[in-house]
């Protein structure tokens, strides 16, 4: 069964600290993996997308990694800011015949405190 599991479920850190969010998936056949950021009361916004051949991709203070062998991805946030407080959702795309199917994780809720 295609699944995406994220950990931790929630996280509280102090402003300026780093943190790492985890995403484990059992999706086949794998197409790509995307991280979304969802601010409270708003829709998700894409942070980064990673394909099978990519190990690391950065977007400002956000760095995503992908290990296709172990089927794990991480999102590292450097020098956190108050505006990083949000839910971070991992989405894995699977090829399904002529269509692609998205499997969404439940997200990690991050709170950055001053």
Residues at the site binding another protein, with contacts judged by CB under 8 A: 32, 34, 41-46, 49, 89, 93, 99-102, 104-107
Nearer to another protein, 41 or 114 (CB): 41
Nearer to another protein, 32 or 63 (CB): 32
Distances from the Cα of 40 to the Cα of 45, 103, 109, 113, angstroms: 12, 21, 10, 15
Q: Measured from the CB of residue 109, what is the shortest distance to another protein in angstroms?
A: 10
Q: Measured from the CB of residue 55, what is the shortest distance to another protein in angstroms?
A: 20
Residue partners of 50: CB distance under 8 A and separation at least 6: 32, 33, 34, 57, 64, 66, 73
Give the other-Cβ count within 10 Å of 77's Cβ: 23
Q: Measured from the CB of residue 14, what is the shortest distance to another protein in angstroms?
A: 26
Nearer to another protein, 44 or 73 (CB): 44
Give the other-Cβ count within 10 Å of 82's Cβ: 10
């Amino acid at each position: 069964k295609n699944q995406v599991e994220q950990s931790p479920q929630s996280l509280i850190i102090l402003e300026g600290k780093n943190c790492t969010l985890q995403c484990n998936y059992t999706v086949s056949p794998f197409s790509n993996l995307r991280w979304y950021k969802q601010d409270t009361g708003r829709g998700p916004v894409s942070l980064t997308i990673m394909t099978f051949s990519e190990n690391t991709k950065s977007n400002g203070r956000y760095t995503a990694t992908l290990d296709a062998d172990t089927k794990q991805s991480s999102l590292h946030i450097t020098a956190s800011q108050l505006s990083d407080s949000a839910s971070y959702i991992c989405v894995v795309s699977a090829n399904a015949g002529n269509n692609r199917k998205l499997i969404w994780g439940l997200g990690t809720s991050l709170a950055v405190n001053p």
